[in-house]
Structure 1
Amino acid sequence: ASKIREGEPLRFSLASVRPLPDALLDRTRRAFAAACSQVRESHPAAAGLFTLSLHGSAAGGGDGREIADGLRSPALALGVDCALARGRLAERGPGLIVSDVDSTFIRGEVIDMLAQAAGSADLVADVTARAMAGKLDFAESLALRVATLEGLPTSALDDVAARVETTPGAEVLVRTAHAHGAGVGLVSGGFHEVVDVVAARLGVDRVLANRLEARGGRLTGRTSGPVVTRRAKAAALAEWAACDGVELAGTVAMGDGANDVAMMEAAGLSVAVCAKPVVLAAADAVIASPRLDALPALLGWDAAD
């Protein structure tokens, strides 16, 4: 993280499905007060979550990562979701939120669900795990997995789209973002044929995903068009932000795997959601429980009805 400037707006927030321990609250308040002046406290409304949000102005300059780690470490040790937002994000929240899809915005991996229908689940699961851990090039791993779907009827895509479950709180996240004037986009190494259905159901504004090639009502085992790589995800964030007139410093990017890191590093606030270690190391904020409605609370927003 870059150096924090004296007077820079800061917001540090906690969210948990369990009551926040008094010792954690006291330690957080003291640490934030040591770093900031004009501290204000709020408790963003979020059904089923216990929250704390502290807002202030940096009392002096300092290393951003050092300050963030000092605030976050006690919370992370207890499994409490937390985020340190800076500048525009601390003042009024983001103008754009972009999320990975598989195992972030939805439960599970679409390719795994398709592989079950194709009888290639074990092979695909192994390749997926290695790709998410950063041990395989994503484009290569995608080609390996999609090849196992050759001959699968395209009707299987409709079946999977109907069965996909969004991560709890996803609908609240989209609704609350829109209530605060922020756009929501999904970027996925998965497939438009499924992600578009999920996006339409929840009112998501934009989608970038791969497309599966089909002939005669069956999948060919290949994708059609450019593959959504980590660079493509980062490029989509920048393009959508520019279209919406939002500076990158006013964006949030969420993900769980190695393929999301470039996008997360480009955003004003990077959020690791039930993430792999390589992603946790790159994140400004951590959501450890599968509750996406924690994000509005971490941004200081009350959940929209």
Structure 2
Amino acid sequence: MLADSVLSELYRLSRNRMAVFWSALFVPIGFAIGGIAFNVITRSKIAEMTADMAPGAASLIAVTNLGQDLVQCAGIAANGAILVFMLIGAATLYAGDYRWETWRLISARNSRLNLILGKVGAFKVLTLAAMVLFLIGGMIFSISGALINGHDITFSIDGGDAGDFGLLLLLGYIRIVQYAMIALLAGVFTRSLLAALFVPVVLGFAQSLLGGPGLAILQWDPTSWQSMLLLPGLAFEGLKAMITAGVGAPSAPEGLMLKAIVSLALWTLVPLAGAIAWFNRQDLSKE
């Protein structure tokens, strides 16, 4: 029954082409096109500055390693643009039935738990698709830069880089899903598509302020329990830094991994549990 719920939500989402485009396609396409434009402009600027130099002097980097670039793209797969635009898909999935008053048509076909988990499962599939597309956009960025600048293209990646790639992708996936859990809770609690869309943005902005000047004003250590538990974005960045530097690196503060994992787990599971509990109490006869 849960599988049926996931498949049905995926089918309904696939029919909403605008939501799919803006949540999963817009950022990768913009990244690829912007990357090509950036490479063209950069190449022209370098050509102007090196016009009087010997031929080939502008080629500062003779080789582009797509393997290393792929790892770097994995590290930014959960960037701010992805988080915000993925909320379009999340809000559509989590609050669309309130907006279009279709809950009463589907609530008799499955359990309420499966209905919510089916929406979460569909969003996870959408997240995977968005991340894969972002990696493709990143590769277009790198390849276009190599071709425009006349660099050789290689692909080499060792075991350590492959491990970092997998961990960074997994961490980015968890961060996107966690961020959208706020949309789920807001959508179920308010029965509003706009609330599901904007509450995570407002909360994220407030957390960014707290994580910047706020920590200095409060004189909190960024690696303390209270900082990590209040700021899942800080926990995400801490784990990403550990992966990039090497898990267990001497420079990592003691207990940082545990604090960050607990923070991300709580910010994922607590909103999910709250949404399920509130949804089970709702009267859907008029929704």
TM-score (normalizing by structure 1): 0.23
Per chain length, whose mean CA-contact separation is higher, i.e. which structure has more relative contact order (CA < 8 Å, sep 6+)? 2
Determine which structure has the larger strand proportion and give its number.
1
Determine which structure has the larger helix proportion and give its number.
2
Q: Give the greater-gyration-radius structure (CA).
A: 2
